[in-house]
Amino acid sequence: MLGIGQIAPAGAQVAGSISVESDVRFRGYSASNGDPAATIDLGYEHRSGLYLNGSATAGVVHSDPVLLGYQLNAGYSTWVSPSVSIDAGVVRNAYTRHARGIRDTHYTEFYLGMATRGISSRIYYSPDYFRPDKYTLYGELEGTLNLAPKWRLNGHVGLLTYLNDPPRNARREHYDWRVTLGRSLGKVDLRASLSSAGPGTDYYYGRRHSATALTFGASLPF
């Protein structure tokens, strides 16, 4: 990590964080089988607007530490006005059998986004959403409201649509939402989130579970 920071051009930034969650949720569903997990993130941003991000999430299964998944992301962002920025890029998500069940899975998404004054939106296109030749669009909208010094409220809504026939037992469209209350405590960021998705329920460990969940997390930047 130090080597990356030392060779970065002037104006470039390298940042990272370690997070612990009571249950890692992705688009309204558990990516850690309802169990606690830890994630390490590392990002690099060049003054030109190019950026690279990577993360890996690990948990414990049958008393053994296991890799649940990882994400690689490359993109470009720029300001189009003093208060509006846009970005575009590609992200690769991969999950091991410990996170998704019987086999390792992965998919790629291309995205375009815009942000202004605490509100951001993105639309993602995938040509292989968890299965070959399954084309999807996913749109999301997020907003952050500063309630008081060190306190904030974040909201998220998203909608996924299959552009061709969905997989067996899957709906053509599904939604997700999340509301998060955050508190800064020194360098540590604490949060509690209520989230859900539908239609339908979540499924892991061979059993159905409610997609609605209250989760807790903490992050420490480095």
Once rounded to an integer, what is the mean pLDDT over residues 87-95? 97
Specify the pLDDT at position 102: 67
In 186-212, where do the E strands start and end? 188-198, 202-204, 207-209
Give 119-151 pLDDT, tens digit per residue: 999 999 999 999 999 999 999 999 999 999 999
Find residue 45's DSSP bridge partners.
13, 51
* 108-114 own/partner pairs: CB under 8 Å, 24+ apart: 109/138, 111/75, 112/86, 112/87, 112/88, 113/86, 113/87, 113/88, 114/84, 114/85, 114/86, 114/87
Average model confidence (pLDDT) for the chain?
A: 91
Confidence grade of residue 103 (pLDDT, cut at 50, 70, 90): confident
Q: What is the DSSP string of 93-120?
A: EEE-HHHHSSS-EEEEEEEEEEEETTEE
Domains and CATH numbers, the chain: 2-221 (2.40.160.40)
Confidence grade of residue 10 (pLDDT, cut at 50, 70, 90): very low
pTM flag (> 0.85): yes
Specify the pLDDT at position 7: 40
**Above 70 in pLDDT, residue 6?**
no
Q: Are the beta carbons of 156 and 175 closer than 8 angstroms? A: no
**Lowest-pLDDT range of 60-64, 74-78, 196-200:** 60-64
The percent of residues above 70 in pLDDT, for the chain, comes to: 93
Computed from CA positions of residues 164, 170, 174, 177, in that sequence, does the dihedral angle turn out positive or negative?
negative
What is the distance, to the nearest Å, from the Cα of residue 182 to the centroid of all Cα atoms in its chain? Answer: 17
**Above 80 in pLDDT, residue 69?**
yes
Computed from CA positions of residues 153, 81, 73, 109, in that sequence, does the dihedral angle turn out positive or negative?
positive
**Above 60 in pLDDT, residue 52?**
yes
